[in-house]
Amino acid sequence: MQCCVCKEKPATVHFTQIVGEKMQKLDMCEECAKSKGINDPSFAMADLMLGLGASQEIDAAAAGVQLKCPRCGFSQTDFKKSGRLGCPECYRTFSEGLSGLLKTMHKGTRHIGKAPEALRKTRDNVDRLKTLQTKLDKAIAAEDFELCAKLRDEIKVLNSGATSKVTR
């Protein structure tokens, strides 16, 4: 039997998953199995086979419900059909399924670059807080209490400042 991924080497890893009433089988060589993370307990075969958020979809289908955007009613099936989302809110609704897709599509998964002026300050503050927090953690680990105190003060100032809520 041949590996179903590389179609070259003989399949030595056989994987069977039963979801609801469906049974799926995969036969792979050692290497491909490893690269697909079969040993990883969180591995979802459906994602590998069907792409974006398929396992969630199957889970949901098995439970008789489908993930839908609460704002616009867009479903995962709709995304599969069109490759487009329904509304800005959909990015939150389907974030789990999308994150893998974004990774393969783009340079990174976090936006770098322009932001609307109104959010720019908040955005900078969030970034600065993050760096300060990492510095603080390091300082604590290093038992540099003088630096700790200084960083804590800076964080306090940033937090008390006009940090309006980050909205979507």
Partner 1 sequence: MNDLHAFLISPAEATQQHGPHDRIVMSSRVRLARNIRGLAFPGWAKKNERVKVLETVMPAVSSMPEMSDSFSEAMDNLAPADKQILVERHLISREHAAKSVGSGIVLNREESFCVMINEEDHLRMQALRPGFQLREAWQAIDRFDSELEKKIDFAFDNDLGYLTACPTNLGTGIRVSAMLHLPGCVLDEQINPIIQSVNKLGLAVRGLYGEGTEALGNVFQVSNQMTLGESETVIVERLEKVLAQIIEHEQNARERLLEKKAKVVLDHIGRAYGVLANAHRISSKETMNQLSLMRLGVDMGLFPNTQRTLVDELFLVTQPAHLQRQVSDKLTAEERDLIRADMVRERLKNVARPVTKPNGGKAN
* Interacting residues with partner 1 (CB under 8 A): 71-72, 74, 78, 82-89, 91, 98, 101-102, 105-119, 122-123, 126, 166, 168
Q: State the nearest-atom distance from the C-beta of 122 to partner 1, in Å.
A: 8
| Coil/strand/helix, residue 115 | coil
Minimal distance, residue 53 CB to partner 1, in Å: 12
In the bound state with partner 1, the residue whose beta carbon lies nearer, of 32 and 79, is 79
Cross-strand partners of 71: none
In the complex, what is the shortest distance from the CB of residue 145 to partner 1, in angstroms, rounded to a whole number? 33
- If the CB atoms of residues 115 and 149 are measured against partner 1, the closer one turns out to be 115
Instruction: Rank residues 13 and 102 by Cβ distance to partner 1 and give the closer one.
Output: 102
* AA identity, residue 125: N
Q: How far is the C-alpha of 60 from the C-alpha of 77, rounded, in Å?
A: 11
Buried/exposed code over 124-140 (b: 16+ C-beta within 10 A; e: otherwise): ebeeeeeeeeebbeebe
Measured CA to CA, the distance from residue 88 to residue 69 in angstroms comes to 10
Q: Shortest approach of partner 1 to residue 112 CB, angstroms?
A: 5
Burial class (CB in 10 A: 0-12, 13-18, 19+), 114: exposed
23 touches 14 (CB < 8 A): no
**Which is nearer to partner 1, 64 or 116 (by Cβ)?**
116
